[in-house]
Amino acid sequence: MTENWTITGGEVLAGGALTQGTLHLAGGQITEAAAPEARRFDATGAWVLPGIVDLHGDGFEAIVQPRAGVHFPYPLAFAEADRQMLSNGITTAFHALTVSWEPGLRSIEVARELVAALEAATPGLRCDTHLNIRWETFAVDHVEEVLGWLARRPGDILSINDHTTANRSLEAGSSKVKRMAARMGISPEETKRMIDDVWARRDEVPGATAQICAGATARGAPILSHDQCSAEDWAEGNRLGITVSEFPMTEAAAAAARAASEPVILGAPNALRGLSHNGALCATAAIGAGLCDVLASDYYYPAPLHAALRLWQTGVLPLAEAWALVSTNPARAAKLHDRGEIAPGKRADLLVLAPESREVRAVFVNGRKVLDRV
Domain boundaries along the sequence of the chain: 1-50+340-374, 51-339
Say yes or no: do domains 1-50+340-374 and 51-339 share a fold: no
Across the strands, what pairs with 68? Answer: none
What is the secondary structure of 110-148 as a DSSP string?
A: HHHHHHHHHHHHGGG-SSEEEEEEEEETT-GGGHHHHHH
Distance CA 96, CA 269 (A): 16
Instruction: Please state the rounded mean pLDDT for residues 7-19.
Output: 97
Query: What confidence tier does 65 reach under pLDDT thresholds 50, 70, 90?
Result: confident
Q: Which of 63-67, 132-136, 318-322 has the lowest mean pLDDT?
A: 63-67
Query: What confidence tier does 120 reach under pLDDT thresholds 50, 70, 90?
Result: very high
What is the secondary structure of 155-171 as a DSSP string?
A: TBEEEEE--HHHHTT--
Neighbours of 123 (CB within 10 A): 6
Strands of the 264-267 sheet, one edge to the other: 52-57, 90-99, 128-136, 157-161, 223-226, 244-246, 264-267, 294-296
Query: What confidence tier does 105 reach under pLDDT thresholds 50, 70, 90?
Result: confident
Instruction: Please state the rounded mean pLDDT for residues 8-33.
Output: 96
Query: What confidence tier does 1 reach under pLDDT thresholds 50, 70, 90?
Result: low
The alpha carbon of residue 75 and the mean position of all alpha carbons in its chain are separated, in whole angstroms, by 20
Distances, alpha carbon 309 to alpha carbons 11, 92, 279, 297, 305, in Å: 16, 19, 23, 14, 6
Contact between 342 and 350 (Cβ < 8 Å): yes
Query: Does domain 51-339 correspond to CATH entry 3.20.20.140?
Result: yes
Residue 309, pLDDT score: 97
More confident residue, 42 or 37: 42
Whole-prediction pTM: 0.94
Its sign, for the CA torsion 219, 221, 226, 229, is positive
Query: What confidence tier does 374 reach under pLDDT thresholds 50, 70, 90?
Result: confident
Instruction: Please state the rounded mean pLDDT for residues 248-269.
Output: 95
Average pLDDT, the chain: 94
Q: Residue 165's closest CA among 213, 202, 211? A: 202
Residue 197, pLDDT score: 95
Q: Is the pLDDT of residue 119 over 80?
A: yes
Q: What is the CATH number of domain 1-50+340-374?
A: 2.30.40.10
Q: What percent of the chain has pLDDT over 70?
A: 99
Side chain identity at 320, as an amino acid letter?
A
Contact between 97 and 131 (Cβ < 8 Å): yes
Residue 274, pLDDT score: 86
What is the tens place of the pLDDT at every residue in 296-326?
999 999 999 999 999 999 999 999 999 999 9
Query: What confidence tier does 339 reach under pLDDT thresholds 50, 70, 90?
Result: very high
What is the secondary structure of 13-69 as a DSSP string?
A: EETTEEEE--EEEETTEEESSPPTT-EEEE-TTSEEEEPEEEEEE-HHHHHH-SBTT
Distance CA 122, CA 259 (A): 38
CA angle 319-304-81, nearest 5°?
A: 145
The alpha carbon of residue 246 and the mean position of all alpha carbons in its chain are separated, in whole angstroms, by 10
Q: Residue 159's closest CA among 64, 227, 93? A: 227
